[in-house]
Amino acid sequence: MNSRVGELEVAPPVEREPDYRFTLANERTFLAWQRTALGLLAAAVALVQFLPETATQGPSRLLAGLLTVLAIMVAGMGLGRWRQVDRAMRKQLPLPRSLTPAYLGSGLVVLGAIALGLVVSLAVHR
């Protein structure tokens, strides 16, 4: 399965067991993504369960729904990132770039803006 590049023969990357410290660091990063997703999900549940009934239900339900979607995305992207990094370490390839932090940051900015709008709306209507 060797391929020729010009006149050089290039062998496919051989899988090797990575240093356990890197494997454990990758696992800790994965767990951090999962904790972030769990925190987002807890915030969604808290919005639905603990917001007073007199508050506008539509925007708070929308915000809770968006938090839930972001939690699902973060959990899935964390799993995908863990797999990508593990594969790269085993094949001794450069670590792949990840857009996950950008997606999470953008999602939190949007959710923060919606939450701010909800707070201002509730303050004005009281």
Task: Confirm whether 53 is domain-assigned.
Answer: yes
pLDDT for res 4: 58
Task: Confirm whether 7 is domain-assigned.
Answer: no
Number of domains in the chain: 1
pLDDT for res 81: 96
Task: Confirm whether 11 is domain-assigned.
Answer: no
At a CB cut-off of 8 Å and minimum separation 6, what does 18 contact?
Answer: 86, 89, 90
Task: Confirm whether 1 is domain-assigned.
Answer: no
Residue 93 Cα to chain centre, angstroms = 23
Task: Confirm whether 9 is domain-assigned.
Answer: no
pLDDT for res 55: 57
Q: Range of 69's domain?
A: 16-124
Task: Confirm whether 94 is domain-assigned.
Answer: yes
pLDDT for res 120: 85
pLDDT for res 114: 87
Taking the C-alpha atoms of residue 89 and residue 96, their distance in angstroms, rounded to an integer, is 10
Task: Confirm whether 40 is domain-assigned.
Answer: yes
At a CB cut-off of 8 Å and minimum separation 6, what does 84 contact?
Answer: 95, 96, 98
The 10 Å CB-count burial string (b at 16+, else e) for 42-59 is ebbeebeeebeeeeeeeb
Taking the C-alpha atoms of residue 54 and residue 84, their distance in angstroms, rounded to an integer, is 47
Give 10-residue mean pLDDT values along the chain (126 residues).
Answer: 61 80 95 97 91 70 92 96 95 92 94 87 77
Q: What is the pTM of this model?
A: 0.78
pLDDT for res 90: 93
